Structure 1
Amino acid sequence: METILTINNLHKKFRHVHAVNNVSFEIKKGNVYGILGPNGSGKSTTLGIILNVVNKTSGSYSWFNGDLETHDALKKVGAIIERPNFYPYMTAYENLKLVCGIKGAPLEKIDEKLELVGLLERKDSKFKTYSLGMKQRLAIASALLNDPEILILDEPTNGLDPQGIRQIRDIIRHIASLGTTILLASHLLDEVEKVCSHVVVLRKGVVLYTGTVNGMISNEGFFELEANDKQSLKTILQQHPAIDKIEENESKLIVYLKESLEAADLNKYLSSQGIYLSHLVKRQYSLEEQFIQLTSSAK
């Protein structure tokens, strides 16, 4: 699979603040990547460095397997890292026509991209009449005019209402389905879980995890169990080699695992010991729970 972007040991210091601290990861073609972290974690600074608008302190990055210099590579990149900035008294079409002139994109692309973001019917409306969500969708259309190989978005749903958030997420999924690689920075766990295939977790400029979203949330999980004789249930569970620890929660036992154990196998084991369950549920940790564990342990 083609490598779009490679980042190696990247550092950025602002006086006493180490905003990006030894960051390394790769972006492969055709995936949707999320840089996830709380505000101040170094997400926007990292994007600024790879887009050549922020100077790195040390480390390196290369676009498209290093085959292109940054200036030429960025011609194949679409990016929105600030609030949409268009002329308020010009229409959407007129604004995008100016962008086509700057990017050297054909004018036929305007209607194509406006349709993709659901704004074709409003192409002759002035930008000042657009809602915040529409402005953000127009910015995405603008970033796509040159058919970039990768689209970079910094907090794409920030400040939007629930409907606007959903529209942007649907557009991102659709763009990805057409083969465009996407890299987005977000502090919203829900956004990354619903949109991204891969995630880089940052905290105070340090990478805590890099890999697939499924890989981050895949874990041995835990059981919720309940039986008439809770104490006997607990005693027998403590003898099972796959069980890590047990917590009591009202009438239920929360059973954490250190290795894989299926519900049917646990039920069979308990029944062989004369314990019959009235409640058995196996759960996985959510992305939120995994994120909290990662960031808490990194303090």
Structure 2
Amino acid sequence: METILKITNLHKKYRKVHAVNNVSVEIKKGNVYGILGPNGSGKSTTLGIVLNVVNKTSGEFEWFDGTYSTHDALKKVGAIIERPNFYPYMTAEDNLKLVCKIKNIPYTKVFEKLELVGLLDRKDSKFKTFSLGMKQRLAIASALLNDPEILILDEPTNGLDPQGIRQIRDLIKVIANQGTTILLASHLLDEVEKVCSHVIVIRNGVTLYQGTVDGMVASEGFFELESENLAQLESALQQLPQIEKIEKDENKLLVYLKSHLEPGELNTLLFKQNITLTHLVKRKNSLEEQFLELTKH
């Protein structure tokens, strides 16, 4: 699979602040990547560096396997890393035509992209009359005018109401299904889990995880167990090699695994020790639980 962007040992320091700390990432064609981290974690700085608007301190990055200079490569990239910035008294169509003129893109792309983002019926409306969600969709249309191979979005649903968030998420899925690689930065776990195939977790400038979203949540999970004698149950569980840790939660035990164990197998092992379970449920860790586990240290 073709590599769109490769980042190697990237650093960015602002005096005492190490905003990006030895980040290495590889973005492959055709996937939807989420850079996930709390506000101030280094997500936007990383995107700014690869888009040539922030100077790196050290490290390397290359676009399209190094076959293009950064200047030429960025002609194949669409990006929104700040709030949409259009002329308020110009129509949606005229604003996009101006972008086409600056970037030497055929005007026919304007109607194609307005239709894609669901704004074709508002092409003659002035930008100042648009809602925040509509402004964001127009910005995405603008970033897609050059048919980029990768679309980069920084907090694309920030400040939107629930309907606007839903529209942007659905639009991202449509764009991805057309074959465009997408890289979005977000602090919203729900956003990444719903639209991304891959996730890169960053905290304090450091990469804590990178891989598939499914891979991040595919831990061995945990059991919820109840029995009439919790002390006896806990004592028996502590003898099992598959158990990593046990936590008490009101009238039940949360049993976390370090290796695979089927519910039926656990039930049989406990029954042989004369322990009858009144409640047994196996759960998978959510992306939120995995994220909190990664970032708590």
Q: Which amino acid aligns with 2:2?
A: E
2:41 alignment partner in structure 1: 41
1:290 alignment partner in structure 2: 290
What percentage of aligned pairs have identical amino acids? Answer: 76
Q: Secondary structure at the residue paired with 1:7?
A: strand
The separation in 1 between residues aligned to 2:48 and 2:247, in whole angstroms, is 45
The separation in 1 between residues aligned to 2:46 and 2:62, in whole angstroms, is 13
Structure 1 residue 54: Cα displacement: 0.8
The separation in 2 between residues aligned to 1:45 and 1:246, in whole angstroms, is 40
Q: For structure 1, which segment, 193-202 or 101-110, has the greater mean C-alpha deviation from structure 2 after superposition?
A: 101-110
Matches within 5 A, 1:148-297: 148-297=148-297
Q: Secondary structure at the residue paired with 2:296?
A: helix
Structure 1 residue 247: Cα displacement: 2.0
Q: Deviations over 1:132-152 (max 9, x none)?
A: 000000000000011000000
Gaps of 5+ in 1: none
1:87 alignment partner in structure 2: 87
Structure 1 residue 233: Cα displacement: 2.1
Structure 1 residue 173: Cα displacement: 0.8
Q: Which amino acid aligns with 1:102?
A: I
TM-score by length of 1: 0.96
1:133 alignment partner in structure 2: 133
TM-score by length of 2: 0.97
Q: Secondary structure at the residue paired with 2:139?
A: helix
2:62 alignment partner in structure 1: 62
The separation in 2 between residues aligned to 1:246 and 1:22, in whole angstroms, is 35
Q: Secondary structure at the residue paired with 1:270?
A: helix
The separation in 2 between residues aligned to 1:199 and 1:248, in whole angstroms, is 31
Runs of at least 4 residues of structure 1 off by over 4 A?
none
Instruction: Tell me how large the CA RMSD over aligned residues is.
Output: 1.1
The separation in 2 between residues aligned to 1:98 and 1:223, in whole angstroms, is 58
Structure 1 residue 250: Cα displacement: 2.0
**Aligned length in residues:** 297
Q: For structure 1, which segment, 74-83 or 7-16, has the greater mean C-alpha deviation from structure 2 after superposition?
A: 7-16
The separation in 2 between residues aligned to 1:296 and 1:230, in whole angstroms, is 29
Structure 1 residue 230: Cα displacement: 2.5
1:105 alignment partner in structure 2: 105
Q: Deviations over 1:224-261 (max 9, x none)?
A: 01122323322222222211222222221111111111
The separation in 2 between residues aligned to 1:86 and 1:292, in whole angstroms, is 38
Q: Deviations over 1:13-60 (max 9, x none)?
A: 112211111111100000011111111111111111100111111111
Q: Secondary structure at the residue paired with 2:121?
A: helix
Q: Which amino acid aligns with 1:93?
A: E
Structure 1 residue 270: Cα displacement: 2.2
Structure 1 residue 157: Cα displacement: 0.5
The separation in 1 between residues aligned to 2:8 and 2:231, in whole angstroms, is 53
The separation in 1 between residues aligned to 2:294 and 2:250, in whole angstroms, is 28
The separation in 2 between residues aligned to 1:168 and 1:246, in whole angstroms, is 41
